[in-house]
């Protein structure tokens, strides 16, 4: 069997990324929409190639890249997310005066990194993907060059990111020395020098905790999320987390069966999950900036995802990610619609009276926010439902109680935005909403559809999720 | 049944809400017309539930069951004698609540009606769900619209009140959700299959310690909603700030969701644990009765007076439930409906006064009956119904509740009787100060009496009040079988709290005889 099918989605997207960058260099045009359309086409082709891999378990390079069903499923989610970000950005980058074609090229490169991460069976390939992703992400965060916050975000992201990468590389070296393998699924079984391998594993997990912004390694995230241009933030909130959690799941699923010192590793991650949920929720309470609040909320969601990893709930994790795609893209999408030329308006006060002035936009944001808080009938409820119920079945009731407490706190801060939108009148200059932005409105509509479809009639998606989850065991 | 009548009743309001979204927001008459038409249609569709309901069997009727998400999560609805009248009360009161809003909800009407219709779907769903998952979904779905109703159209402290309401409720219901997971997992462990169906979970025998925790989690969610002392503090805030129709629905239906939860889920699912906690719960109920009554006595604001009277009445309903005998449970169910009607009407009357005076402080009124004789008559009926005058509905419920409580424990019953005395004191005292005496100020001189719309919305309630008061068996006989089955299920496993052997049989006989 040739390697081409398994490489298809990756090749398409990497070639597309380069093509977009070249097109930007050679066809200097004021209007960059052609780059957006080219990117969308590339994502579509890549997605189509990925769909064709469903159920085939295609491999390349001796299993270094392996598209099992879970990888295909997540690749599709990631490509969809990237497409949403492209659409969200089309008008946004013009209005925010950062109209550079690099936006699309970097985004596609980052997406290529994500696809490598989700489809790799080997830690070296994971690291490769992670770096492709990270380097493009640093540049994306600083895309708004004239803006201090954006620059600061890029610098911070770069420093912390490279620091974490160093941890991971060093950990991999120790892991390889200790266990003799870097295959994700074999690390658990091997163990010639267990202690060395354990130290390596600890470093690798620490590095991932940095990248996924799990408490206590989360400090950078609110700054980066707040400083980065909003569509980019939307990308950060979904892409890296989704890919990172699938890698964690691939690593830890076999590990929970037969890993060395698995109880110790489990209790550390248990504590990390608990701290992640509580600290982020409490910190979110204090935020006056909605973008920053959503950054903390995305940390909290990482905590819930970690519960799924701890309770071996692959289908719960995948379903949660599918929901989180629509919820986070939707919420950040509304944020992207606010503001005036060159200025983003994301303070709580900017939301005052939004529900009355722009009923549809306010209503959409309310739906996304209630979805993030986990209210039925949105998919957010069902996602939490599956993850929590699996955790209880595995006997992690205490962790679920902490998660529930965190959800309760989160209800308060999500509700506060709604209170501002519907129950306060605006004072001072009112934030404008960008309605002449069909691509963004399309994204919001698709997200609304996704949130409700997954919340009310998810059976069809669930069959795919369950098949994808089976491929992990 | 070929027509899925329950689904129709539950989801027609949702369809109405969806339709409203696409109507122009300026056209008030059209918006109200559509919303009213939908709620009236829902009421008409719900009437066959009463007529076609077979009172001879305890099994759920009009059952619809379909797979929804798999793994035990089904769309499974039905009504039995206990939920039947709660559904009917909801569908009956909704059009009246909308009609009452006509004159005082002036801004953002479209959103207002949207949330009201959404709320109706949530509330009806809670009463008809026979699958725990479905129940939880509706339970939460009924919460959000109420938050908006209080927060957007409420009084001065509306944001505080609505936030408090949602946090109190969510604290309870999230723990209940965890308890549901535990039940689900326990069922899976025992049988190897997944199920959230209430009927399946009822067969589960759980270890006492586990039962205790689960009962506490469910109990907390419901106790907050009822609300039982000491979880009641959200209620006066929510009631005082809510718009009139919001108060009506809150008192009439949302509080019943808590009592209904005890009746349908907490007690039958965890009978041993329930029996263990009954003394505590009974004490809390009695405290609620007395405390609510005394608080109502000293309120300066008419609306918070009615709110505290709710705490007191709900205490009596809970005490009767905890008695766990036929008279008590039947009394609790019928009194839930009565309380819905009488307190709902009291709130409507307070709303009518407020629209004219723009104040609710008792001291600002006086001699209103001179200017509004027709209103005075209606208000008096509401007051008398609420304090349990024979011939009106409140008496039937109260007497059954007290019989039931007496049969179970004389001391509690004696303490609970204070509800009658206190209710007479605070309600008649309020009525005297507001309606009688010399006309207090010039504002009142300018009051106009009820208009046609206001009379139209009060008359149906009064008719029903007399109906239940004079001929309660129309309703009681439909619930006989369900209540009997419930009682035998509770009794079958464990005795109800401190039963004193001498008094019990006599009082139960007396209770049966009056029916």
Cα separation, A368 vs B489, in Å, equals 43
What 3 state SS string does B362-428 have?
HHHCCCHHHHCHHHHHHHHHHHHHHHCCCCCHHHHHHHHHHHHHHHHCHHHHHHHHHHHHHHHHHHH
pLDDT of residue A269: 92
Q: What is the pLDDT of residue A3?
A: 66
**Most B CBs within 10 Å, among A285, A385, A402, A454, to test the B interface:** A385
The answer to whether A324 touches A238, Cβ cutoff 8 Å, is yes
Whole-number percent of chain A with pLDDT over 90: 50
pLDDT value of residue B199: 84
- Residues of chain B in contact with residue A415, where contact means CB-CB under 8 angstroms, are 147, 163, 166
Give the DSSP letter string of A374-420. T-TTSHHHHHHHHHHHHHHHTT-HHHHHHHHHHHHHHHHHHHHHHHH
Contacts of B436 (CB under 8 A, 6+ apart): B366, B367, B369
Most B CBs within 10 Å, among A415, A418, A469, to test the B interface: A415
Q: Best interface-test mutation with B: which of A376, A410, A463 has the largest number of B CBs within 10 A?
A: A376
Residue B124: other Cβ atoms inside 10 A: 31
Which of the pair, A100 or A22, is modelled with greater confidence? A22
Interface-testing mutation among B31, B178, B182, B194, with chain A (most A C-beta atoms within 10 A) = B178
Is the confidence at residue A434, as pLDDT, over 50? yes
- pLDDT of res. B89: 92
Q: What is the pLDDT of residues A52-78, one digit of tens each?
A: 988 888 888 877 888 889 999 999 999
A250 pLDDT above the threshold of 80: yes
**A86-129 tens-digit pLDDT:** 999 888 888 877 767 788 999 999 999 999 999 988 888 999 99
Res A193 pLDDT > 50 = yes
Q: What is the pLDDT of residue B127?
A: 93
> What does the alpha-carbon distance between residue A79 and residue A46 come to, in Å, rounded to a whole number?
8
Q: Taking the alpha carbons of A38, A39, A42, A47 in that order, is the dihedral positive or negative?
A: negative
Q: Which residues contact B363 (CB under 8 A, 6 or more apart)?
A: B300, B433
Given a cut of 50, is residue B511 above it in pLDDT?
Answer: no
Q: What is the mean pLDDT of residues B345-355?
A: 90
Mean pLDDT value across residues B37-45: 92
CA distance B467 to B26: 40
Q: How many CB atoms lie within 10 A of CB B431?
A: 21
DSSP string, A19-57: HHHHHHHHS--S--HHHHHHHHHHHHHHHHHHHTTTTT-
Question: Which run of H or of E encompasses A436?
Answer: none
pLDDT at A249: 92
Overall average pLDDT of the B317-339 stretch: 90
Residue A472 pLDDT class (50, 70, 90 cuts)? confident
Q: Is the pLDDT of residue A209 over 70?
A: yes
Confidence of residue A444 (pLDDT cuts 50, 70, 90): very high
Of A376, A401, A462, the CB nearest to B178: A401
- Whether pLDDT at A441 is above 80: yes
| A407/B174 Cβ within 8 A | yes
Digit-coded pLDDT (tens) for A397-408: 899 999 999 999
State what percent of residues in chain B have pLDDT above 70.
Answer: 95
Selecting from B69, B108, B111 the residue whose C-beta is nearest the C-beta of A458 gives B69
Chain A residues within 8 A of B25 when measuring between CB atoms:
359
Minimal Cα–Cα distance from B182 to chain A, Å? Answer: 6
Nearest CA of chain A to the CA of B298: how many Å? 31
**How far out from the chain centre does Cα A457 lie?**
24
B159, B174, B178 member nearest A419 (Cβ): B159
What is the per-residue pLDDT for B494?
Answer: 44
- How deeply is B458 buried, as exposed, middle or buried, from its count of CB atoms within 10 A (0-12, 13-18, 19+)? buried
Q: For residue B271, what pLDDT is reported?
A: 84
Q: pLDDT by residue (tens digit) across B69-104?
A: 878 888 989 988 889 999 999 999 999 999 888 888
Confidence of residue A192 (pLDDT cuts 50, 70, 90): low
Q: What is the mean pLDDT of chain B?
A: 86
User: pLDDT tens for residues A147-184?
Assistant: 888 889 999 999 999 989 999 999 999 888 888 888 88
For B211-234, write each residue's pLDDT tens digit: 899 999 999 999 999 888 888 888
How many separate helices (H) and strands (E) can be counted in chain A? 18, 2
Q: What is the mean pLDDT of residues B398-406?
A: 90
The per-residue pLDDT for range B467-488, each reduced to its tens digit, is 998 888 888 888 888 888 888 8
Q: What mean pLDDT is predicted for residues B2-26?
A: 87
* Residue B333 burial (CB count, 10 A): 32
Instruction: Please provide the average confidence, as pLDDT, over all residues in chain A.
Output: 88
Contact residues for A108 (Cβ-Cβ < 8 A; gap 6+): A13, A14, A16, A17, A20, A39, A42, A43, A82
Q: Residues in chain A whose beta carbon is closer than 8 A to a beta carbon of chain B?
A: 355-356, 359, 370, 375-377, 381-382, 385, 388-389, 391-393, 397, 400-401, 404, 407-408, 411-412, 415, 419, 422-424, 458-459, 462
User: What pLDDT is stored for residue B504 in this prediction?
Assistant: 41
User: What pLDDT does A451 receive?
Assistant: 93
Please tell me the pTM assigned to this model.
Answer: 0.90
Domain boundaries, chain B: 290-515
- Measured between CA atoms, how close is A382 to chain B, in angstroms? 10
Q: Does the model's ipTM exceed the 0.90 cut?
A: no
Which among B111, B133, B181 is the nearest to A388, CB-wise?
B181
Domain boundaries, chain A: 4-470
Say what the pLDDT of residue B438 is.
81
pLDDT tops 60 at residue B513: no
DSSP A349: G
Q: Quote the pLDDT of residue B291.
A: 92
Is residue B181 helix, strand or coil?
helix
- What pLDDT band is residue B512 in, cutting at 50, 70 and 90? very low
Nearest residue, CB atoms, B167 vs list A388, A400, A411? A411
- How many beta-carbon pairs below 8 A join chains A and B? 79
Query: Å from B136 to nearest chain A CA?
Result: 9
Q: What is the mean pLDDT of residues B424-434?
A: 90
pLDDT at B144 over 80: yes
pLDDT score at A340: 66
Spell out which residues of chain B touch residue A370, defining contact as CB-CB under 8 Å: 144
Interface test with B, best of A392, A399, A424, A467 (most B CBs within 10 A): A392
Give the CA-trace dihedral at B20, A323, B182, B7, to 10 degrees. 30
A423 and B166 in contact by Cβ < 8 A? Answer: no
Q: Is the pLDDT score of B506 beyond 80?
A: no
Lowest mean per-residue pLDDT among A15-19, B23-27, B281-285:
B23-27
B315: pLDDT strictly greater than 70: yes
When CB atoms are compared, the residue of A359, A391, A422 closest to B152 is: A422
Residue B492's pLDDT is: 60
For range A429-438, the mean pLDDT: 74
CB B277 within 8 Å of CB B191: no
Query: Residue B261: pLDDT above 60?
Result: yes
Q: What pLDDT sits at residue B508?
A: 44
For the residues B158-167, what does the mean pLDDT come to? 88
């Amino acid at each position: 069997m040739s390697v081409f099918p398994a490489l298809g989605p990756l090749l398409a997207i990497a070639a597309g990324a380069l093509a977009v960058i070249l097109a930007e260099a050679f066809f200097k045009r004021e209007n960059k929409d052609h780059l957006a359309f080219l990117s969308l086409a590339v994502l579509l082709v890549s997605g189509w190639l990925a769909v064709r891999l469903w159920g085939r378990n295609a491999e390349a390079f001796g299993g270094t890249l392996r598209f099992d069903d879970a990888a295909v499923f997540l690749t599709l989610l990631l490509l969809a997310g990237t497409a949403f970000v492209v659409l969200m950005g089309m008008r946004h980058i013009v209005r925010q005066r950062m109209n550079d074609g690099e936006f699309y090229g970097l985004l596609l490169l980052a997406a290529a990194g994500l696809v490598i991460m989700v489809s790799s069976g080997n830690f070296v390939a994971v690291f490769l993907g992670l770096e492709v992703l990270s380097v493009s992400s640093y540049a994306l965060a600083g895309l708004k060059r004239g803006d201090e916050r954006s620059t600061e975000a890029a610098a911070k992201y770069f420093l912390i990111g490279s620091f974490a990468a160093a941890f991971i590389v060093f950990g991999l070296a120790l892991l390889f020395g200790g266990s003799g393998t870097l295959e994700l699924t074999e690390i658990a079984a091997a163990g010639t020098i267990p202690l060395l391998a354990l130290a390596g594993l600890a470093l690798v997990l620490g590095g991932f905790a940095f990248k996924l912004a799990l408490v206590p390694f989360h400090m950078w995230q609110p700054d980066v999320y707040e400083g980065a241009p909003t569509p980019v933030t939307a990308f950060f909130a979904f892409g890296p987390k989704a890919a990172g959690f699938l890698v964690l799941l691939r690593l830890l699923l076999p590990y929970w069966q037969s890993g060395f010192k698995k109880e110790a590793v489990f209790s550390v991650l248990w504590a990390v999950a608990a701290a992640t949920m509580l600290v982020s929720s409490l910190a979110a309470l204090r935020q006056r900036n909605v973008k920053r609040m959503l950054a903390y909320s995305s940390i909290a969601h990482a905590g819930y995802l970690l519960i799924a990893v701890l309770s071996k709930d692959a289908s719960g994790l995948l379903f949660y990610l599918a929901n989180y795609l629509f919820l986070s893209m939707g919420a950040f999408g509304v944020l992207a619609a606010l503001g005036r030329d060159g200025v983003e308006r994301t303070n709580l006060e900017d939301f005052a009276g939004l529900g009355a002035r722009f009923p549809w936009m306010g209503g959409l944001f309310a739906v996304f926010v209630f979805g993030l808080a986990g209210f039925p009938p949105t998919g957010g409820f069902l996602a939490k439902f599956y993850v929590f119920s699996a955790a209880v079945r595995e006997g992690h009731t205490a962790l679920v109680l902490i998660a529930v407490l965190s959800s309760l706190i989160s209800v308060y801060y999500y509700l506060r935005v709604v209170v501002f939108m519907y129950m306060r009148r605006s004072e001072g200059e009112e934030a404008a909403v960008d309605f002449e932005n069909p691509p963004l409105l399309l994204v919001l509509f698709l997200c609304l559809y996704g949130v409700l479809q997954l919340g009310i009639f998810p059976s069809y998606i669930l069959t795919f999720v369950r098949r994808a989850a089976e491929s992990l065991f | 049944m070929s027509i899925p009548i329950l689904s129709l009743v539950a989801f027609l309001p949702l369809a109405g809400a969806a339709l409203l979204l696409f109507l122009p927001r300026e056209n008030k008459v059209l918006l109200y017309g559509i919303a009213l038409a939908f709620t009236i249609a829902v009421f008409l569709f719900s009437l066959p539930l009463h007529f076609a309901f077979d009172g001879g069997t305890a099994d759920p009727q009009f059952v619809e069951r379909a797979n929804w998400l798999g793994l035990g999560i089904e769309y499974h609805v039905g009504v039995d004698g206990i939920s039947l009248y709660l559904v009917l009360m909801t569908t009956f009161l909704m059009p009246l609540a909308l009609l009452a809003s006509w004159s005082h909800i002036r801004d953002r009407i479209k959103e207002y009606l949207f949330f009201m219709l959404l709320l109706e779907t949530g509330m009806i769903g809670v009463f008809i769900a026979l699958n725990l998952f479905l129940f939880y979904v509706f339970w939460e779905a009924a919460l959000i619209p109420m938050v908006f109703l209080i927060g957007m159209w409420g009084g001065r402290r509306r944001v505080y009140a609505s936030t408090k309401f949602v946090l109190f409720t969510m604290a309870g219901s999230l723990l209940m959700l965890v308890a549901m997971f535990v039940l689900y997992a326990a069922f899976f462990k025992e049988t190897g299959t997944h199920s959230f169906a209430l009927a399946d979970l009822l067969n589960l025998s759980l270890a006492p310690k586990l039962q205790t925790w689960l009962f506490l989690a469910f109990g907390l969610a419901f106790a907050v909603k009822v609300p039982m002392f000491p979880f009641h503090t959200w209620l006066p805030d929510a009631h005082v700030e809510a718009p009139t129709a919001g108060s009506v629905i809150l008192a009439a239906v949302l509080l019943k969701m808590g009592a209904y939860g005890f009746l349908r889920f907490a007690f039958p699912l965890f009978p041993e644990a329930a029996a263990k906690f009954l003394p505590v719960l009974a004490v809390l109920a009695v405290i609620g009765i007395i405390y609510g009554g005394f608080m109502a006595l000293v309120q300066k604001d008419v609306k918070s007076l009615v709110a505290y009277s709710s705490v007191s009445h709900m205490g009596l309903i809970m005490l009767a439930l905890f008695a766990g005998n036929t008279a008590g449970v039947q009394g609790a169910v019928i009194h839930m409906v009565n309380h819905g009607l009488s307190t709902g009407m009291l709130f409507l009357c307070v709303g009518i006064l407020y629209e004219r005076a723009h104040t609710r402080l008792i001291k600002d009124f006086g001699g209103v009956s001179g200017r509004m004789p027709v209103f005075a008559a209606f208000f008096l009926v509401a007051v008398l119904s609420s304090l349990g005058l024979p011939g009106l509905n409140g008496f039937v419920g109260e007497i059954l509740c007290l019989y039931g409580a007496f049969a179970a424990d004389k001391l509690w019953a004696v303490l609970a009787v204070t509800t009658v005395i206190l209710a007479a004191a605070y309600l008649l005292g309020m009525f005297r100060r507001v309606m009688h005496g010399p006309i207090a100020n010039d504002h009142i001189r300018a009051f106009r009496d009820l208009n046609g719309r206001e009379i139209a919305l009060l008359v149906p309630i009064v008719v029903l009040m007399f109906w239940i008061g004079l001929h309660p068996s129309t309703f009681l006989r439909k619930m006989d079988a369900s209540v009997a089955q419930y009682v035998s299920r509770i009794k079958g496993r464990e005795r109800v709290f401190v039963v004193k052997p001498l008094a019990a049989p006599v009082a139960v006989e007396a209770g049966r005889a009056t029916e």
